[in-house]
A and B are shown apart, each in its own frame.
Chain A
Amino acid sequence: MGALEQGFAYGFLVLGVYLTFRVLDFPDLTVDGSLPLGAAVSAVAITAGYDPFLSLLFALLAGFLAGVVTGVLNTKFGILHLLASILTMIALYSVNLRIMGRPNITLLGKSTILEPLTNAGIGMFNAAPLLFGLLSSLALLFLLWLLHTAFGLAMQATGVNPQMITSQGVNTDRVIILTVGLSNGLAAVSGALLCQSQGAADVNMGVGTIVAGLASVIVGETLFGCRSIGRALLAALLGSVLYRLTIALALSLKLGSFSLTPSDLNLLTALLVVAALTLPKLRGKVFSR
Chain B
Amino acid sequence: MIHVTDLVKTFHRGSINEVLALSGINLRVKKGDFITVIGSNGAGKSTLLNCLSGSYPIDSGHILINEQEVSRWPEYQRASLISRVFQDPLLGTCGPLSIEQNLALANRRGKPHGLRRGVQRSDRELFRKQLAQLNLELENRLKDSVGLLSGGQRQALTLLMATLVKPKILLLDEHTAALDPKTAQQVLELTQKLIEDQDLTTLMVTHNMRQALQLGNRLIMFHGGRIILDVSGSEKAAMSVEDLLEQFYKVRGEEFVSDRMLLV
Q: Footprint of B on A, CB under 8 Å?
A: 146, 148-154, 156-157, 160-161, 163-172
Contacts and interface: CB of A to CB of B under 8 A. Distances in A.
B111 interface: yes
B104 interface: yes
Of the four ranges (under 10, 10 to 19, 20 to 34, 35 or more), the interface on chain B belongs to 20 to 34
Which applies to chain A's interface (DSSP): helix, strand, loop or mixed?
helix
Interface in B74-96: 74-77, 79-80, 83-84, 86, 90-96
Contacts of A165: 94, 105
Interface of B: 53, 74-77, 79-80, 83-84, 86, 90-97, 101, 104-106, 108-111, 113-119, 161
Given A167-B79, A171-B74, A149 B114 contact: yes
Given A153-B104, A164-B94, A165-B105, A148 B76 contact: no
B112 to A, nearest CB: 8
Given A161-B94, A169-B109, A149 B76 contact: no
Closest 10 CB pairs of A and B: A169-B79, A150-B113, A153-B118, A157-B94, A154-B113, A169-B110, A171-B76, A149-B115, A150-B118, A168-B109
Which applies to chain B's interface (DSSP): helix, strand, loop or mixed?
loop
Nearest to A160: B94
Contacts of A169: 76-77, 79-80, 108-111
Given A163-B86, A167-B84, A168-B108, 10 more contacts: A149-B118, A160-B95, A161-B91, A161-B94, A164-B92, A164-B94, A166-B76, A169-B77, A170-B113, A171-B74
Contact of B118 (A152, A161, A171): A152
A168 B99 CA distance: 15
B115 A150 contact: yes
16 contacts: A148-B117, A148-B119, A150-B113, A153-B101, A153-B118, A154-B113, A156-B94, A157-B97, A161-B94, A163-B86, A164-B92, A166-B79, A168-B105, A169-B77, A170-B105, A171-B74
A149 B116 contact: yes
Given A151-B113, A161-B91, A167-B53, A156 B96 contact: yes
Given A149-B115, A150-B104, A156 B76 contact: no
A141 to B, nearest CB: 15
